[in-house]
Structure 1
């Protein structure tokens, strides 16, 4: 095989990877390596294929070989940083970012990739600078503008974020995520709204583009709500959500089995003799139903000088999954629950702490505010006996409605219930039962905070929070809305405002449309 043949194979492999034709690209790379075993880009492209197949360990190994054979390629370091960040090796990812930046790449894709990594690590200020560099090279790339807008939103730069989302839409009107993100940033009025644009876009979304329809329906519903047209808003939400639920083939029975399995492993005493020697008291878990006030409490606590937020970390679930060694595709399922009795809880506590502690490790405590960690309360207490756990409680109808009208991470299976109002109500009932179960075991070690009480009597409830966390009073916690640090959750806009009751009792605006779930929740004694 001549040098020219290898060059052509290399070009072909690059093109095939870009087109997502990974099997053919894989074959080309192997042909190259059969003649040139140290060809750096062949290893790198194989790493990209592994990354797209979610084979993270393999991707890391292949990119490391590429780097060892070419120490001066910033693209290798950029994607190396990306994979490392995806497996929670945050400090290593940051080292790779710095190495890439030191090589001053002119490539837009390198700057965008590095910015995405920095955004994932919470360094949105540096991310914004790099997104802008990428845009300077490719000003008509809508994805770059979308990524820039997201970081600007997380930083609280809402006007600049709106402009960036509008730029995305001007470049590509069917970039549907930009429509839903933009709607969350602004309050529509009769004089200024995007309702006509969204209605036109909705007629253009193909029936097979379920996620596109979902984004447009949520954007349209948000704007209709702002105009007080709650019936229309609910109808359009049901249109988008029902199509998504049908695609997922989801039933609430799937979650019923999961909740039952979690309780069962504690009820049969399988873990009674399992204890952890992990003594750290650094983690503060803030959890509860999504949209119940977890971000608000996170902001209050992280406004304290001794506390730093790590956002919505999935690390506890991921580290548990790794230790169970189950081969199932889901992070938590019945197979994984069954394997929990075989794990070492000291190892789990240490691995979680190592994976989660902030990259800039200056705070005494850190807040992990992944709401769905409520599934793991018993396991958190087993692995991290000195961790603090704060459970948010909110009026049930407001929680159900808020879950239904929030566009969570699309295709993240643990939010599948949110596409149907009845499923929301049943899921909430499961949550309440599980919380009663955890309280029966750990009542003195958990703190429950009412969202409504927090809003009504903020100083009293914040003092309860700080006392439980063994923190002294600081006025910053009462003035949490002035906290300049980034927020990357669905509440990123609301928590930059002073405490208010705007969302309390929202469900009452929808009239008889919510009668069915109200009746169900009443029958469960939750109203």
Structure 2
């Protein structure tokens, strides 16, 4: 007896086949039945089927039904570029060219490889204006049209989040078209999204050497160098861009951003101000100007710049969040109303929504309205989690591998192979555990340079991960002479962040995962574990919107699991490397600053200096969320802030009883 449609497993190929043959009724029927069979089991598949259903309905001329389908799809996937492209087509069918333009613009912003959207925009802007919009759309059409079909397809896959497939297509193309500039650039962009920064850096460096006139590749190279903290090199590359386009606002901003990174903050501020003299309608430049002022400790000037940013673009969520993230700014009632109004804007970008939700959460916390505050913290974290992919299982695999490879036997067989330089002081732990305070105390010592959260160890781990055995397993296979070389490279690559003191700090908290690697390549380095009481640490992380990474921090269950995993690995390091790590409990530091500071300096083999107790007087650029706290004398205000939210934190409390 043949199966009915209801009994069959319906594939996307079945639906696409019906559409391609022009049988829209069959395609609609297949989509509707597939959705019925699927239920709420698979959100990603549900989104794909809803999109195909909207296409089929539009093809049939069922405009109302197609719009209803998109109204179901977009809350599930608010950054679905092709859904907005479908909206554009539907608006064209009803003659609403203004809304069609907005929809195609949204689609092309989310996925710049959507040739069809750019083609529609080129026509619409020609009719409706502005001329600059038509010029840009026409340029994009020309750029995409001249790309090899494979690379255009791979670019589309990348923007749709299908990174593994995009990577595969791009590599296959490069096998037959070695050193193709656009393919090298795209493969580097994919690598950056996969956090394979070393490979991306190598590709971009090679690309600009082979194709020195390729502006886009060099611009991406500057961005990556800044992301990696290689600010001196980023500045040099930005100057090369400016030698070709001296008045380019993006290139000037890129140079200024690099200058902030190397401490040339006043000169960077001057560049931002010069840009704003020419164009005073650039909220992004106002934001960067605010960040530069904040890093320098000029908080009033930073606030003024952030406020100007949202006045230019009232939906600019990052401007509100940057104000909240000063930890000292108090929003006015009118600003609070403005934020709520923006949050209710149906056209609000997802990124703006997340920033606004975090800003509102901080606002209500400051006003002691804790239930309302937690509502926004929870909404903000849920919104952010929808945009990322985090796996507790993957973390457990990483922790287990570290424990397996870096055993007592490993360190017995690999002792004193690395570079002997004792200069590096690593501060590790979880974000929001007090590492910035420890850094500021140490950086107040005359023999210690404060730097930033350096990516070098993470970059080395990523490089080793590319080996056949993977990292950390490859550590047992590497020729032992390489360990000294790795250590020397670390010292050499971090030289540009130092100011001449004998010791310097690397405050990358995630390096707790790589203490075994650090010990192997830098046996005389110092490791300080910044530890904070788990409820306070986890909730503080939950309240923070991080610039990048820390994907575990947007869910209370993930936070608890991550904290426990971190504890377990630190216990392992204590067992296999006794005495190599100094644990500093944040609460102990708050209660007795001098005793803990002396203990810290003794561990680092540094003589006591009273300046370390007056760390808040030390003038240096600080770019972490705690920048304003460490410019104040020590206080216990934050020790038990989480208790205001205790009724909503049972998920954490059940773990940390």
> Which runs of 5 or more structure 2 residues have no equivalent in the other structure?
1-131, 152-179, 193-199
Map of 1:39 onto structure 2: none
Partners of 1:172 and 1:46 in 2: CA distance: 36
Partners of 1:85 and 1:186 in 2: CA distance: 25
The CA deviation string for residues 116-170 of structure 1, in whole angstroms up to 9 with x for no partner, is 2212334322221111122222221111111111111111111111111111111
Map of 1:231 onto structure 2: 371
Displacement of 1:106 in angstroms is 3.2
Map of 2:631 onto structure 1: 496
- 1:151 is aligned to 2:292: yes
The aligned length equals 484
Map of 1:517 onto structure 2: 652
Map of 1:351 onto structure 2: 489
Contact 1:108 1:138 in 2 (8 A): no
Displacement of 1:243 in angstroms is 2.9
Contact 2:276 2:282 in 1 (8 A): yes
Partners of 1:182 and 1:26 in 2: CA distance: 42
Q: Out of 342, 351, 363, which is 1:211 matched to?
A: 351
- 1:139 is aligned to 2:284: no
1:160 to 1:46, Cα distance in 2 relative to 1, 3 A: farther
- 1:315 is aligned to 2:433: no
The equivalences for 1:50-449 within 5 A come to 52-53=189-190, 54=192, 55-64=200-209, 81-86=222-227, 89-96=230-237, 105-185=246-326, 187=328, 194-204=335-345, 209-267=349-407, 269=409, 272-275=412-415, 276-326=417-467, 335-343=470-478, 344-410=482-548, 412=549, 415-449=550-584
What secondary structure is seen at the aligned counterpart in 2 of 1:291? coil
What secondary structure is seen at the aligned counterpart in 2 of 1:392? strand
Displacement of 1:297 in angstroms is 0.5
**RCO comparison, higher one (Cα < 8 Å, 6+):** 1
Partners of 2:584 and 2:518 in 1: CA distance: 19
Contact 1:389 1:447 in 2 (8 A): yes
Contact 2:364 2:373 in 1 (8 A): yes
Partners of 1:504 and 1:244 in 2: CA distance: 26
Partners of 1:351 and 1:500 in 2: CA distance: 39
Displacement of 1:97 in angstroms is 5.5
Map of 1:40 onto structure 2: none
After superposition, the CA RMSD in angstroms is 3.3
What secondary structure is seen at the aligned counterpart in 1 of 2:582? strand
TM-score, scaled relative to structure 1: 0.82
Contact 2:530 2:583 in 1 (8 A): yes
What secondary structure is seen at the aligned counterpart in 1 of 2:579? helix
1:311 to 1:246, Cα distance in 2 relative to 1, 3 A: same
1:191 to 1:125, Cα distance in 2 relative to 1, 3 A: closer
Displacement of 1:292 in angstroms is 0.6
Contact 1:185 1:493 in 2 (8 A): yes
Partners of 1:84 and 1:135 in 2: CA distance: 25
> Which runs of 5 or more structure 1 residues have no equivalent in the other structure?
1-10, 31-42, 328-333, 523-527
1:87 to 1:416, Cα distance in 2 relative to 1, 3 A: closer
Contact 2:527 2:580 in 1 (8 A): yes
